[in-house]
Structure 1
Amino acid sequence: MKDTMIDAFRDAVLTIFDRDEASALLTQAFFDNPAHVFLYPDAVTRRTRLMWLMKANLGVQFALGRSFAVRDRSERVAAMGFWHPPGSPEASPALLARHGLLALPFRHGLETFRCTLKVINMIEARRKACLNGQPSWYLNNMVVRFDYQGRGLGSSILRRELSYVVDTSPFPASLVTQRPQNVTFYEKLGFQVTNAEPIAINGRSFPNWIMVRQKPR
């Protein structure tokens, strides 16, 4: 069946030169995401801090992952995401330093840095446990521009990605989300919740779901 939603946009592969636009889009999309509110509870400074964090992290994403995106008629990024292929290496200290992430404790405070590391390590340990050591396509930073949300663009682009990238390989796909509405969205695309434990640190917590989509038989 012809996907008219996708046909209204132009496919794009993002590069490091798109980092400013992509980081702005991610900041808008994740401003009220529970994990980021947990890390940056002050709403006044959160946007500026998130913008820096997203821009630095995107440098690592471009180095380790594979981007997918579509642009609208104005050449804005309308939707985007990254796949970390099965067997992707962990980000090395040299790579983190190259893109500025090791400056996090100096820019946002040592406690925020420590908390961020704990959150990342807890989530990643659970995701790997859910996969029982099996490599997977890890879906990261999947977002749709606010203008196009609720119109089926996200499901159209991800359905195509799953068909072309994941289902042609022997590996499953995995992802992490902190929003219940996203759980429903991804379940419609074949993902199943494999862990729904909240992330709790120092008496504070936020919801977290790990989801896995096995390759169709």
Structure 2
Amino acid sequence: MGVHVRPAVRSDIPTLSAVLAEAFEDDPLMAWMLPDEDSRAERLSKLFAAEARYHHFAGGGVEVATDDNGVIGGATLWDPPGRWKQSWISGLVSLPAMVRVFGRGLRHAAEVSSVLEGAHPNSPHWYLATVGTGSAARGGGYGKALLNSRLERCDREHVDAYLESSKVSNIPYYNRFGFEVTRDIVMPGGGPTIYAMMRQPRGA
């Protein structure tokens, strides 16, 4: 079956957020921030739904990959150059959702966000906040199709791309698309190390 990438619409949010939650259930950073295994998947789904609804859709950076029948198997949340940082308005609007996700751990989540923001490059770039595929779609080329969709635009517009990888094992995968590790980001309080990765446009 083929893989097709298209811009997401708001009615896709429940499905794409569930797919991303499945993809990130064993993610080191998410597991550290949401240690309760029984509730993690549900909380992650709420987290990605809120991030897409209140932030990423505004920048036109939400894409989904589907099979020939239109079933969503993967999704990406991108931010365009100069718009990666959440505005205070969207932060305020999304606050109730964040409280439902993190509960008493909200302050801890805010500290993590602050550390990542502090390490973020200032140069113009597309920011890949999230990419993931569901278990049924893994190995089917969904991630490759999603990444290439936006990276081809980066190449056309001669713009860098940036992401943070929380898994060492994913670094070689991103290397194949042209991303290189630029720094290690150590989470305070014994958290996992996050790897900042930048990609320069090809053909520039």
Q: TM-score, normalised by structure 2?
A: 0.88
Query: 1:207 — aligned with what?
Result: 193
CA distance in 1, matches of 2:22, 2:100: 24
Query: 1:154 — aligned with what?
Result: 143
Please tell me whether Structure 1 or Structure 2 has the larger radius of gyration of its CA atoms. 1
Q: Percent identity?
A: 26
CA distance in 1, matches of 2:188, 2:34: 15
The letter for the 2-side match of 1:145 is: G
Report the CA distance between 1:77 and its aligned residue: 1.0
Aligned residues: 202
CA contact (8 A) 1:80 1:144 kept: yes
Report the CA distance between 1:108 and its aligned residue: 3.4
CA distance in 2, matches of 1:71, 1:47: 21
CA contact (8 A) 1:56 1:101 kept: no
CA distance in 2, matches of 1:106, 1:52: 8
Query: 1:21 — aligned with what?
Result: 15
SS at match of 2:156: coil
Structure 1 pair 215/89, CA: closer, same or farther in 2 (3 Å)? Answer: closer
CA contact (8 A) 2:16 2:64 kept: no
The letter for the 1-side match of 2:48 is: M
Query: 1:118 — aligned with what?
Result: 111
Structure 1 pair 79/103, CA: closer, same or farther in 2 (3 Å)? Answer: closer
Structure 1 pair 66/108, CA: closer, same or farther in 2 (3 Å)? Answer: closer
Query: 1:74 — aligned with what?
Result: 69
- 1:51 pairs with 2:37: no
* Pairwise CA RMSD: 2.1
Q: TM-score, normalised by structure 1?
A: 0.84
- Unmatched segments (≥5 aa) in structure 2: none
The letter for the 1-side match of 2:7 is: V
- Structure 1, 85-94 or 204-213: larger mean CA deviation: 85-94
CA distance in 2, matches of 1:106, 1:16: 21
- Unmatched segments (≥5 aa) in structure 1: none
